Amino acid sequence: MTIPIALTIAGSDSGGGAGIQADLKTFSACGVYCASVVTALTAQNTRGVRAIHDVPADFITAQIDAVFDDLDVRAVKIGMVAQRAAIEAIAAGLDRWSARNVVVDPVMVATSGDRLLAADAVEAVRGLLLPRALIATPNLPEAAALLDEAHVAREESDIVRQGERLLALGCRAVLVKGGHGDGPESTDYLIGRDGVVRLAAPRIRTRNTHGTGCTLSSAIAAGLAKGAPLDQAVRDAKTYITAAVAAADRLNVGHGHGPVHHFHAFDDRKT
């Protein structure tokens, strides 16, 4: 049996908890082979981002062409893309290779609060990436920023309204993530052409949430690469990230916002 293959297009995290590194761990844990296109190098750890070095757009193009020319890519996850030129190169590459099952995670701010997306790139995400996406996975602040709204939604009606506005930009579905919300549950909203699905899980009290968005979007892409329908891929990914966050404190990595536990299913430690 041939292993399903997915591609992550994202930035590298030198601390190992988010970005390309989190994506590779997630795909591996989910039984999917992962190729990668690096859009930026970051000097960061669990405490914050110290520097960002952007990869030139022509080299992003070269990486995309090298992967698609040889591998049967069944899903694509797009994460941190800091510059407009890089976004334009990615959009052209997706079209050139007729990429399937594109998951766009519009990474704008790191868990530490450091901004990762240039201001002039937000419009490119809206106009070039979202229309090519099967699903976009913004958190609450990212949804507001993509819509140029000052108000970060808190009430369910506002969250759904913002999701529907994002849907109108061209993607086939939107998963608005509720990790930045309040209350005893962390609720995500899957908004599609046929309606809204509410996905709730107990809110886990931990500071070790570095890479949660990267991990969730990669888990969705892994499910799609394995042939799951979108709603099932999202449900399975929600289950996976909930367990990864619940087990995060076992790792004890770093002195700031530590990573989630991508390989929790293979760890027999209880503490």
Which residues participate in catalysis according to the annotation? Answer: 177, 209, 211-214
CA distance 102 to 90: 11
Q: How many CA atoms lie within 13 A of 266 on its CB side?
A: 9
| Angle between the N-to-C axes of helices 230-246 and 212-225, in degrees from 0 to 180, rounded to the nearest 10 | 140
What residue type is assigned to position 190 of the chain? L
Q: How far apart are CA 83 and CA 124, in angstroms?
A: 9
CA 147 to chain centre: 18
Read off the tokens for 85.
């030129």
Instruction: Give me the sign of the Cα torsion angle 141, 146, 150, 156.
Output: negative
**Can you tell me the distance from the alpha carbon of 142 to that of 60, in angstroms, rounded to the nearest whole number?**
24
